Copies of this chain bind each other. A is one copy, B any other.
Amino acid sequence: MVLPGNCSTSAALCMQFLTQLAAVAIDQAYPAVPNDYHLPNKKLFVSYRSVPPPAPSPSSAAVPIRFNSYSSVGSNIRGLNSQTLHPGSMEPPLTPGNYRLYSMRFCPYAQRVLIYLAKKNIPVEVVNVNPDRSPNWYLAKSPIGRVPALEINGKVVWESNVIVEYLDELFPTTTVLPRDAFEKAHQKILVERLSPIMNALFEFYSSMSNQQAQRQNDMNVHSALRNAENLLRDSFYGGRQPGYADYLIWPFLERLQLLTMTQNSQFRYFPGLHYPKIGAYIARMQNQPEIKFSSRPLTHHKAYLDSFSMGMPNYDFGIYGKS
């Protein structure tokens, strides 16, 4: 059985799939309250439209191309905080030979790809789309409007794990996955073995407002952390340096820290003193340039999650300076 490694329609956090399987009632019965995060007159972050695409490089017609002309991690990525496109939005023109990532700013699966793109220093333009109600032209690229999706010269690849492996094949000199077949398989297996971290995040999202369910979820988080603590045998799951498993799991660990801001959870610190290796691991990960670049403040995650819980997901939270 396969669950998608992506964010998808109808709930923006793969919730539609959890809902289908588990009858999680995430988007029901929340009172509609005013959403005041959206203040379009205070632009602070760079928005998509404010950065015109660069003139195409003469060599960019060939694919793949590896650029090394950027000095700081993430400077190869434009439009990270571009305004979200909704039904009715025009499709921004894509220069042939350029990579484009369709994303949603708070999607953990899209963050996996962003970390990879930053690490590998691949020039890319990010276009943020509403994964719940996407523009019609986007549905032609990604069935049911899922993000993330990577486009190049009319070819579209989706599923976060498929995209990052595709990037490693296109740009083998900066491969994140090990070249050795067994080590490569081992990294993929590690992601699977760390999947309780991912499951715990989805359970947390679905049980946030229910005290009893959140107690149970706290126990699941403890179990996932114990498991993660046992599996960490070096500085990173990839060894001395962060690897595929680290990058694929990180977005979920980043968001699990929201537990400390949730009344119904007993986590006041994350991961807490019981998990010294994971505590040190999180600090090490947060020091990696590609993680720093891709991460968002916990207050932003919290604001997005609150808006999502109220049935009015604010995909543009933070773009305009309110945080």
Contacts and interface: CB of A to CB of B under 8 A. Distances in A.
Interface stretch (A73-81, A182-190, A276-284, A309-317): A182-190
Interface size class of A (residues with CB under 8 A): 35 or more
Contact of A159 (B3, B5, B22, B189): B189
Contact of A158 (B17, B21, B165, B189): B189
A159 to B, nearest CB: 6
Contact of A181 (B14, B158, B169, B199): B169
Main secondary structure of the interface of A (DSSP, over half): helix
Nearest to A181: B169
A275 interface: no
Contacts of A182: 155, 157, 166
A202 B21 CA distance: 10
A5 B5 contact: no
A224 to B, nearest CB: 12
A15 to B, nearest CB: 10
Given A1-B3, A1-B17, A198-B2, A189 B157 contact: yes
Interface of A: 1-5, 14, 17-18, 20-23, 143, 155, 157-159, 162-163, 165-166, 169-170, 181-182, 184-186, 188-189, 191-193, 195, 198-199, 202
